[in-house]
Amino acid sequence: GQNIDQPTEMTATEGAIVQINCTYQTSGFNGLFWYQQHAGEAPTFLSYNVLDGLEEKGRFSSFLSRSKGYSYLLLKELQMKDSASYLCAVSPGSGFQKLVFGTGTRLLVSP
Amino acid sequence: GAVVSQHPSWVICKSGTSVKIECRSLDFQATTMFWYRQFPKQSLMLMATSNEGSKATYEQGVEKDKFLINHASLTLSTLTVTSAHPEDSSFYICSASRLPGNTIYFGEGSWLTVV
């Protein structure tokens, strides 16, 4: 089976740093994606990791450890507009386009 | 601009009727598209894989006779919710990839409300 876990909700303050964790157990692994989703909208791509290590892209960074089945998304210099749901998704290997999504983490950034 | 487009963005239908949602890849061909469903405050759940020119592959627990998928061309997949009921009310979203590459594009999503 496929199991991807994330914290349900997190809160943080504007300007701070927040780390959203994701653990996964899947039948196969062909990469891990992070998406941002505002309420009522489609997910927006943030990052893709297929090798171990840290990928940095502006204020957002994503880390992957395949041996531990673990990833995190790091958001720096938080802004109010970062309040959204953050979805961790794994491509389980049967064609990388197919994604299994985690439970999603709702992040609330306060002033 | 969008590279995967869905239509309609929102639809209200009466219980017992059928409703069709379209997913189009705008400037590339997609032999495979994916349909997801998202209930309020929940994550996306994969419903089925839409294969151009062949039958769709459904995830466990998804009724293939209720959620009809047709992928008749390389740029269009349709999801028809048959005999809709209020519990089918949800956000339906499709995805496709432009190959080569590993970028997955999502459509804008379609809100279905069954009354």
pLDDT tens for residues B40-72? 888 899 999 998 888 999 999 999 999 999 998
- Per residue in B66-103, pLDDT (tens digit) is 999 999 899 999 999 999 999 999 999 999 987 776 67
Distance linking the first and last C-alpha atoms of chain A: 41
Contacts of B99 (CB under 8 A, 6+ apart): none
Q: Do A97 and B97 touch (CB under 8 A)?
A: yes
Structure confidence at residue A94 (pLDDT)? 59
User: Can you tell me the distance from the alpha carbon of A69 to that of A91, in angstroms, rounded to the nearest whole number?
Assistant: 13
A83, two tokens: 């309040």
B71, two tokens: 């992928």
Q: Note whether A103 contacts B: Cβ–Cβ < 8 A.
A: yes
Distance of CA A67 to the CA centre of its chain: 18
Structure confidence at residue A96 (pLDDT)? 61
B111, two tokens: 């809100």
Residue with more model confidence, B29 or B66: B66
Chains A–B, number of C-beta pairs less than 8 Å apart:
53
Chain A residues 12-71 with CB within 8 Å of chain B: 31, 33, 40-43, 45, 48, 50
